[in-house]
Structure 1
Amino acid sequence: MTTERTGDSSDARIRVLLVEAGSDREGVVQSCLGSVPYPSLSSSRAGTLAEALAALAAGPFDVVLLRPELPDGNGADVVRRVAARASGVPVIVVAAECDAQSAATDGVFDCLVTDTLTSDELAHSLRRAAERSRLESRLREAESRSHALFEHTGTALLTVDRNLVVRHMNERARRLLGSVRGEIEGRVSFADLVPPETPLLKKLAALREEPSTPEQFESSIVRRSGGVRRVLVNMVGLPGSEELIVSLHDLSAHDQVETEVRRQREYFRALFENSPEGIVAFDAEGLVVDVNPAFERLFGFKLGELAGRNIVEVIAPPRLQASAREILRKSLSGGSYVTQTVRRRSDGSEVAVSILGASVTLDGERAGGFGIYRDVSAQLAAQERLEEAFIDLVETTVRMMASVDPYTAKHQRMVARLADVVGRKLELEEDQLQGLYVGGLLHDIGKMSLPSTILTKPGRLTSQEWALIRSHPQRGYDVLLDAKLPWPVADMALRHHERLDGSGYPDGIAGEQLSIEVRILGVCDVVEAMSSDRPYRAGLPVEAVLQELREGAGSRYEPRVAQAAVDAIEQGVFVPGGDE
């Protein structure tokens, strides 16, 4: 049997498998589960061990609630078999007493005592278990995608340890080396794959000084199946590891029209400590009736200090009391409300929390409400660190691109720098500025799939060559489309040659169809392209760049953006055609 409750769309649904046999105390866990104050919960019930194992095989579930006394098994053996079949799904054991053997079983997340079980205790345990289940699921997904990215990228990749022993290689590297993995991984030093005259040790010493700065050199690879291939070797430190990433670009294939270069995507994974939520119950007037120990630990107040007082007056800082009263009003009015804000501890310090507030109805009348508080300080700090690490990874990727097309790599960095300056002059939000910077770094990534002979051609391009060049926005969009980025970077790559009056390409869209990020990148791309030396001409003077911006403002270019770029140049904040 399956039951389901649907609440506020901002709540993550918890899918529960309840394993509980009928008895003289039939439905004790089912009863508590029905009273759990969590609006988005669905549950399925199994009455035997066989039914439980079959349900777990069919899945999926976020949490298993297990009473181990079943008709076809009981005790530690049931706990062990259910936990083994659950395979990563947290198991909460509910028993008359929590013996050490059951609690120590792999996969058992929590153990609750039947006689003292309450709906609040069950809700608390379910939420923590579901959060852990979701985090582990995301971790497995990230690992799977990282492995797939390593295996299926268009570049031959190896990872080597600090002794240069090859630890892993992908299929393209295996084909390039003409070997099977078992003959190389963990057995062969990368030094044995290149001739003795290769400057490997010198490059390795430089990497030990600056692991994040790529080192490259040309060499020959001695294939295990016989023969030699000339390659361009790129080595860079793997972030957070003692290992190196080695990419091998087959230079012997340069007579082919296209060089396969795909942006490598590395998925960050993070584990956050599960922290118990603080719960406060209040009456219809908003006066505190009860708080749980987690609330006391979070805010430092004891129940005796809070009972009968308005919760807003106690924990909301004076500057936030108006918004806190509105949260309380909405909670008491019957709706649910989720927000993220700051609250005050007993010592006067402040803590960042997320709040779920909802009303409680008894016998058809609203009796009060409750608030669930979660400390999100670590989560916010971790998110900031992840964003910084992501920016570092993108910049490292662009530096690696320089080995294939130095002009494009420099051009992207200069566009990103000017875009950041213009965005700040236009007072964009910090998150928009981060996305704009990343978009600048990657806006020409589509050129990586074009022949280098066209990108560096010193003379006039043919119509066919020009058509290939004009295809790079779409190529970049195709590369970035499936990347799980928090900003519209793919759209920036696709639209950075569009113009405000519709005169751009590839689609000739105009006006409000172009985001502010696209309008900024369009102007910055023109500034950098005009002022930089190109294979077929020297960079144009600053006066020509300024004239283009002023004449195009209001037609080809967004006026505010063009003026911000002019100001940045005239104030010396950005030097067109300058060095990085």
Structure 2
Amino acid sequence: MGSVKSRRIAEMALKRLGSVIDLSFNEMYLFDPDSLRFLQANRGATENSGYTLDELRKMTPLDLQLKMDRGVFEEVLNRLKKDPMSYEVFETEHVRKDGTAYPVEVRLQLHEDEYERVFVAIVLDITERKRSEESVQRSLESLINTLSSLVEARDPYTSGHQKRVSELSVAIARRLYSDNDKYKDIIESIRVAALLHDIGKSAVPTEILTKPVRLNDLEYHLVREHSAKGYEILKGVYFPWPIAEIVFQHHERLDGSGYPRGLKGDDIRIEARIITVADVVEAMSSHRPYRASLGMDKALEEIIQNSGKYYDRKVVNVCLEVFDEGFEFKS
């Protein structure tokens, strides 16, 4: 379509779409599906970006320095072209004319009828939202560290155990999921659950936790309760992931021989299966009050011998790959 005609059509589209959105608070852009050049923008767009409308009409969305690979952006556009009734929502980053960057949420849709065919992008500045999220994250991290330290304060002989289990669990998860952003939530849940997996031991008498000889049956039973105790402690704490349930399951085994519920196979969450392997490797390779370290070779031999029986075979294989590539505990 000609530039004059397309501009008039874009202006008409903007006027119609403007009736359903507060243009003074959100940025709104219309751009051509083929050239990607901006056809129109509202006052919110020009004021927040710092560009005039004439300047924007010589630009494309990528000229706003979207923190997005061009290929990825074009994939999004192609999906929308195939299904004009759909829309995409994603977070990225824009850079103003003066060079300042700000996080945005973009809602993108192809507007198509007998009169026009244009992409409509509604852009929301989410700077304040991000600040709030960062504040919440700092508070959550402080809570996690405080809860994790409860066990170490009562059981100094295993100081650092939860941190080391978390290190290995995350290394396994990242390799298992190729460190893909799509799985960042599950990786983060594994990190946090591993940091807290033994919190139930805070309910076990200190003299049992630090006993320098093997435990008797009653004492061992009390220690075994730490998974359920951990669940009871954590179930009332808000996390954006099922941390209490993962902690509840970290001593379950694939064949049902674990505790406290004797879960089998896929009834055990993958997060718990990962932490289980990391927990066994760290515990066997470290010193305990009642024994010296059994060594890393013995620890890895254990998970190899019982791969598919007690431990998830895929998790075991990935764990071995991680160590083959030089993984070492930091703490």
Establish whether TM, by shorter chain, passes 0.5. Answer: yes
Are the aligned partners of 1:299 and 1:344 in contact in 2 as well (CA < 8 Å)?
A: yes
8 Å contact 1:532–1:540 — kept in the other structure? yes
Paired residues of 2:80 and 2:87 also in contact (CA < 8 A): no
The worse-fitting range, judged by mean Cα deviation, of 445-454 and 426-435 is 426-435
Contact 2:23 2:42 in 1 (8 A): no
1:539 match: secondary structure: coil
1:419-458: per-residue Cα shift (whole Å, max 9, x none)? 2333344334454443322211100111112222333344
Alignment equivalent of 2:44, drawn from 294, 297, 315: 294
Structure-to-structure mapping, 1:105-184, within 5 angstroms: 119=19, 123=22
Specify every segment of 5 or more residues in structure 1 that has no aligned partner in the other structure, as ranges: 1-34, 38-117, 126-275
Paired residue for 1:527, among 269, 281, 294? 281
Aligned-pair CA distance for 1:385: 6.8
Query: 1:451-470 alignment to 2 at 5 Å?
Result: 451-470=205-224
Distance 2:324 2:87 in 1: 53
Q: CA deviation at 1:496?
A: 0.9
Partner residue, 1:517: 271
Secondary structure of the structure 1 residue equivalent to 2:189: helix
| Higher relative helix content | 2
Q: Does 1:279 align with 2:28?
A: yes
Between the aligned residues of both structures, percent identity stands at: 32
- 1:564 and 1:405 map into 2 onto residues whose CA distance is 30
Deviations 1:207-241 (A, max 9, x none): xxxxxxxxxxxxxxxxxxxxxxxxxxxxxxxxxxx
In structure 2, relative to structure 1, the CA distance for the partners of 1:348 and 1:413 (3 Å cut) is closer
In structure 2, distance between residues paired with 1:313 and 1:574: 41
Q: Which moved more, 1:472-481 or 1:409-418?
A: 409-418
Deviations 1:515-555 (A, max 9, x none): 33212211121122223333433332444323212211232
339 and 433 in structure 1: CA distance in 2 versus 1, 3 angstrom threshold: closer
Task: Give the corresponding residue for 2:74.
Answer: 322
Larger radius of gyration: 1
**Cα distance in structure 1, aligned partners of 2:112 and 2:314:** 54
Per the TM alignment, residue 311 of structure 1 is displaced from its structure 2 partner at its CA by 6.2
User: In the alignment, what sits opposite 2:189?
Assistant: 435
Which residue of the partner structure matches residue 262 of structure 2? Answer: 508
Residue in 1 aligned with 2:204?
Answer: 450
User: By percentage of residues, which structure has more strand?
Assistant: 1
Q: Which residue of 1 aligns with 2:164?
A: 414
Distance in 1, Cα, partners of 2:246 & 2:267: 12
The 5 A counterparts of 1:15-164 are: 119=19, 123=22
Secondary structure of 1:499's partner? coil
Q: What one-letter code is carried by the residue in structure 1 that aligns with 2:194?
A: G
Structure 1 contact 336–357 (Cα < 8 Å) conserved = yes
CA-based RMSD of the aligned residues comes to 4.2
Seen in structure 2, the aligned counterparts of structure 1 residues 417 and 361 have a Cα distance that, compared at 3 Å, is closer
The answer as to whether partners of 1:281 and 1:290 remain within 8 angstroms in 2 is: yes
Change in 2 beyond 3 A, CA 1:542/1:368: closer
TM-score (norm 2): 0.72
Rounded to whole Å, the distance in 1 between the matches of 2:40 and 2:299 is 68
Secondary structure at 2:261's aligned position in 1? coil
Q: Which has the higher contact order (CA 8 A, sep 6+)?
A: 2
- AA of the residue aligned to 2:27: G
Q: Relative to 1, partners in 2 of residues 1:483 and 1:330: Cα closer, same or farther, differing over 3 Å?
A: farther
What is the aligned counterpart of 1:356 among 107, 111, 130? Answer: 107
Describe the shift of the 1:398–1:365 C-alpha distance in structure 2 as closer, same or farther (beyond 3 A): same
SS at 1:497's partner residue? coil
Distance in 2, matches of 1:387 and 1:341, equals 19
Confirm or deny: 8 A CA contact 1:356 1:371 kept in the other structure: yes
Q: Which residue of 2 is the match for residue 399 of structure 1?
A: 149
Q: How many pairs were matched up? A: 309
1:567: how far off? Answer: 5.2
1:488 pairs with 242, 250, 260, which one? 242
Query: C-alpha deviations, 1:270-322, integer Å up to 9, x for none?
Result: xxxxxx32023579999866422210133343233456x89668758643552
CA deviations on 1:303-354 (whole Å, 9 max, x unpaired) are 33456x89668758643552353476489x3455433345676689976432
